[in-house]
Structure 1
Amino acid sequence: MDIEQLFAVRDKVVVVTGGSRGIGEMIARGFVAAGARVYISSRSVEACEALADELSATGTCVALPADLSSSDGVHQLASQVAEREDRVHVLVNNAGATWGAPFDEYPESGYDKVMDLNVKSVFLLTQALASRLRAAATEEDPARVINIGSIDGGFHVPAFESYAYSASKAAVHQLSRHLAKFLAPDRVTVNAIAPGLFPSKMTKVVMAHEEEVVATIPLGRVGRAEDMAGIAIYLASRAGAYTTGAVIPVDGGHATCR
């Protein structure tokens, strides 16, 4: 058994949405460092292009800015990928949003924004890139869809009033299982990663109470870039070829060991 090849992703085509910052950036950096050909997307043209330029100094990273909160944005990104690649080995659906407000004041517009980006765009982009994923898939090395959920999506009840976010991430987990079942015959695996606390713009409010939160994490720290890159590379490599329909918590035991 060749252990290096077991975890190899070199030359694979990888698409990472929400790839310019936070968890998406962590995953994109990991894949670029491992020799994959990476496309990152985000709403911010400037942030997307800046990170792609930085990562291209040591590997291959291309910026494809798009707003995935609408079906037009989803299909714009899929078209840009299709213009450049006839195969996609790995799709990481990471783009997401949250909205916090007291129950009696929670706006319908905020709820819709979160659900559209966090759930509907995951389905639509996977659907739009399905032909590229199927083209890349083999029995020994399936194509991979990796959806980014959250421990808030069913592992525990969040401490904050982020109703749409937790509901959307629970939906992502179930959608991942559902897609896994029906895409398996096409040799496409679908899994979800459920992160705990990782530093990002989205978790800025929680990170303001880092000491208090870390006290509730059995491993005694927040997540690091290597933790997120590692689980994504595992799922995308031969090591993860027989894993599908899984929701994998990466939370230091925060929700899963309490």
Structure 2
Amino acid sequence: MDIQSLFSVKDKVVLITGGAKGIGRMISEAFVVNGAKVYIASRDAAACKSACAELNALPGVRPGSAVPLPADLSSLSECQRLAAEISAREKKLHVLINNSGATWGETYDSYPDSAWTKLVTLNLQRVFTLTQLLTPLLEAAGQASKTQEVIADPGRVIHIGSIDALRVPLLPTFAYSATKAGLHHLSRHLAVELGPRGITSNTLACGPFPSKMMAATLREFGDDIRAANPLGRIGVPSDVGGACLFLASRAGAFVNGATLALDGGVALMSKI
């Protein structure tokens, strides 16, 4: 199979939560410029509309390729509304990227109970909720590619995890690392559950990328973070965009239940 077909996401329908900013925005652009139709959902309605306007104005992008669908993804009713709106617009959803998330850093002795409630809900529970609600559309996408009892191009669920779920972070982000570790295992559980239904589930365990969540850390420790990485840098948009394109294309059709460390190898480094 030629490279253009193997890695193509042209005409696929994609939903990216938190797709207006940071890593989500990087992923959104990768899909839009490669011919996909991308729905962007996040709590910040203005950011959703602005990101979509910017993406639709990119050279070579078809008008209307990026569509804003604002939603507070920490809310059950909002997840239900979002799923209903997607279902009203599309018969199939080829790719769901669960990227929305939050972090909370505070010392152990003062770490609040409210941090756990917020992060467990958004980073873990609602990922299950939204995936569950959109499973019929993801299943329809996979079944549409079925030939001779084989699903050639499954529906895809891609979770944006963290290397802090693979190691103990230096920063006091207890709820973040724990919920991301839960997300990694949820992805594996979903891979087993949804695989027979023609849907794969995989995780990108991301290292440092330029984003609002990482901004303060990079300002204070950016040079140290780069120096500690075997590749001597932090992530760039093509790193995470390319990884998602691989997992969403025919090239990644047989990858299921995997956790890919997208960090330049920094999670392998000893802190001793």
Normalised by the length of structure 2, the TM-score is: 0.93
Match of 2:115 among 110, 119, 138: 110
Which secondary structure does the structure 2 equivalent of 1:19 belong to?
coil
Match of 1:175 among 179, 186, 194: 186
Q: Tell me which residue corresponds to 1:8.
A: 8
Alpha-carbon separation, structure 2, partners of 1:171 and 1:156? 13
Preserved CA contact (<8 Å) 1:97 1:165: yes
Q: Which amino acid aligns with 1:31?
A: F
Tell me the percent identity: 49
- Report how far residue 160 of structure 1 moved: 0.4
Match of 2:195 among 184, 190, 193: 184
- Report how far residue 205 of structure 1 moved: 2.2
Q: Tell me which residue corresponds to 1:219.
A: 231
Alpha-carbon separation, structure 1, partners of 2:36 and 2:203? 20
Q: Tell me which residue corresponds to 2:32.
A: 32
Q: Does 1:244 align with 2:256?
A: yes
- Report how far residue 162 of structure 1 moved: 0.4
Please give the residue correspondences for 1:114-133 in structure 2 after superposition, counting only pairs within 5 Å.
114-133=119-138
Which secondary structure does the structure 2 equivalent of 1:160 belong to?
coil
Alpha-carbon separation, structure 2, partners of 1:182 and 1:156? 27
Structure 1 unaligned blocks of 5 or more? none
For residues 152-196 of structure 1, what are the alpha-carbon distances to aligned partners after superposition, in whole Å with 9 as ceiling and x for unaligned? 01x211010000000000000000000000111111000000000
Which secondary structure does the structure 2 equivalent of 1:255 belong to?
helix
Normalised by the length of structure 1, the TM-score is: 0.98
Q: Does 1:79 align with 2:84?
A: yes
Structure 2 unaligned blocks of 5 or more? 146-150
Calculate the aligned-residue CA RMSD, in Å: 0.9
- Report how far residue 8 of structure 1 moved: 0.2
- Report how far residue 257 of structure 1 moved: 5.0
Which secondary structure does the structure 2 equivalent of 1:164 belong to?
helix
Alpha-carbon separation, structure 1, partners of 2:199 and 2:85? 21
Match of 1:101 among 94, 97, 106: 106
For residues 88-108 of structure 1, what are the alpha-carbon distances to aligned partners after superposition, in whole Å with 9 as ceiling and x for unaligned? 000000000001111111111
In the alignment of these two chains, the number of paired residues is: 257
Q: Does 1:201 align with 2:217?
A: no
Moved over 2 A (4+): none
Preserved CA contact (<8 Å) 1:249 1:256: no
Which secondary structure does the structure 2 equivalent of 1:159 belong to?
coil
